[in-house]
Homo-oligomer: A and B are copies of this chain.
Amino acid sequence: MIKKRLFTPGPTEVPPEVLIEMAKPIFHHRTEQFREMFGQTTEGLKKIFMTDNDVLTIAASGTAGMEAAILCACRRDKKVLVANGGKFGSRWVEVARRANLDVDEVKIEWGTAISPETVHDKLTSGDYGAVIVVHSETSTGTVCDIQAIAKEVSRTDAILIADCITSLGALPLRTDEWGVDIVVSGSQKALMMPPGLAFVSVSQKAWNIIETITPPGVYLDLKAYRKSLAKNDTPYTAAVSLIRGLRVAIEMILDIGLETIWERTAKLAHATRSAAQAMGLKLFSSQPSDSVSCIWLPEGVSDSQFRGILKDRFGCSVAGGQGDLKGKVFRISHMGYVDPIETIGLIAAIEYALAECGIAVEIGRGVSAAAKVLKDWK
């Protein structure tokens, strides 16, 4: 009878309105009914991406969106700059290497982000076809200044590919205004959907490169998705029930308005950081992302005991650390369908879990700090 709640930075909670929509009977994807619906989700996604570019929907996880960008938009005759400051930066490096690209990996200390200056220096000293950055590095809870980075890249012939999997719909992201050529995202984060859909927006500058490249394989060929999109269609079988749910989720998001959602997400993150400080906990990142908070576990606290109490006693799933951070940090999502009620409740559960793990916390300090920040929630 434990009430379960996902505070993991993906998958996140899915609203009942979306779940109910997805439970409705399936219909065929090669129908006018589907095309009409798919046209609506594409239009909605363009608003969320803040772009007039094509936004392609692939029935796959976010990683497929990453690989599609690598395979289709990275020239073989030039280098690709990949900023790696965490687990997802590493994944981009891995995908790019597997594609036999000439990868220039910029290793960044975990918890920090690549600077626009580094991008500038790299671009002026080498011949790059693409720059790949992770906007919000989920493994470390770190955000980069993608607007300034885009400015640097747009001055060159290179394109900017941004992993916005835990930023789209959570953090300010103005694709066209800032000039981000390729934005990759997924369904199971701030879009309040189950996993299963990857989204890729592509600028004209990027299409000009994509047109010159024949990727190995068919499923991740972005040109095929663009061609079908012209008829509000998909090249391969669409995940109909996910698209159904997506239409409802997008409607909910646009009803509130993107700016309001950004503010809310930032407010929940701020409250969590204030609570962490009040509890004597330290944030991992020096450039914290508002979509996911990565917090050091105090010395001597067992990760499995700590997160076990949160999950088994209070129904709250938070994420552990990844890679080198395994067992050392925990991570809380502020994306999508989460609110002050549950965030404040989670803080209380964290206080209880810390106390049970032997840490001297004054119960009530964290929740009180979080409550103060969330006072003017709108």
Binding site for B on A (CB under 8 A): 1-3, 5, 15, 23, 252-253, 255-256, 313-316, 337-346, 348-349, 351-352, 355, 363-365, 367-372, 374-375, 377-378
**B367→A363 contact, CB < 8 A:** no
Q: Contacts A364-B367, A368-B368 given; 20 further ones with Cβ under 8 A?
A: A1-B15, A1-B252, A1-B253, A1-B337, A5-B341, A313-B377, A316-B341, A340-B345, A340-B349, A341-B341, A341-B342, A341-B349, A343-B345, A348-B367, A348-B371, A363-B368, A363-B372, A364-B371, A365-B368, A367-B368
Contacts A344-B345, A344-B348 known; A1 to B364 CB distance under 8 Å? no
Bound-complex Cα distance A196 to B365 (A): 43
Q: Which residues of B contact A363 (CB under 8 A)?
A: 368, 371-372, 375
A367 to B374, CA, bound (A): 12
Report if A364-B368 is in contact (Cβ < 8 Å); known contacts: A316-B341, A341-B349, A342-B345.
yes
A365 → B minimal CB distance (Å): 7
List B contacts of A316 (CB < 8 A): 341
| Beta-carbon contact of B369 and A364 below 8 Å | yes
Q: With a 10 A CB-CB cut-off, give which of A1, A252, A363 has the most chain B CB atoms.
A: A1
User: Which B residues touch A369, using CB under 8 A?
Assistant: 364
Complex CA–CA separation, A229 to B364 (angstroms): 51
Which residues in B have their C-beta under 8 angstroms from that of A368? 363-365, 367-368
Q: Which of B5, B338, B342, B367 contacts A367 (CB 8 A)?
A: B367
Distance to closest chain B CB from A261 (angstroms): 8
A314: contacting residue among B1, B3, B314, B339, CB under 8 A: B339
25 CB contacts below 8 A, A to B, read: A1-B337, A3-B337, A3-B338, A3-B339, A5-B341, A313-B377, A314-B339, A314-B341, A314-B377, A315-B341, A340-B345, A340-B348, A340-B349, A341-B345, A344-B345, A348-B370, A348-B371, A355-B375, A363-B368, A363-B372, A364-B368, A364-B369, A364-B372, A367-B367, A367-B371
CA distance A35 to B339 in the complex (A): 43
CB-CB nearest in chain B for A264: B1
Contact A315 B339 (CB under 8 A): yes
Contact B342 A371 (CB under 8 A): no
- The smallest C-beta distance from A338 to any residue of chain B, in angstroms, reads 8
Nearest CB of B to A370, in Å: 8
Do B340 and A342 touch across chains, with their CB atoms under 8 A apart? no
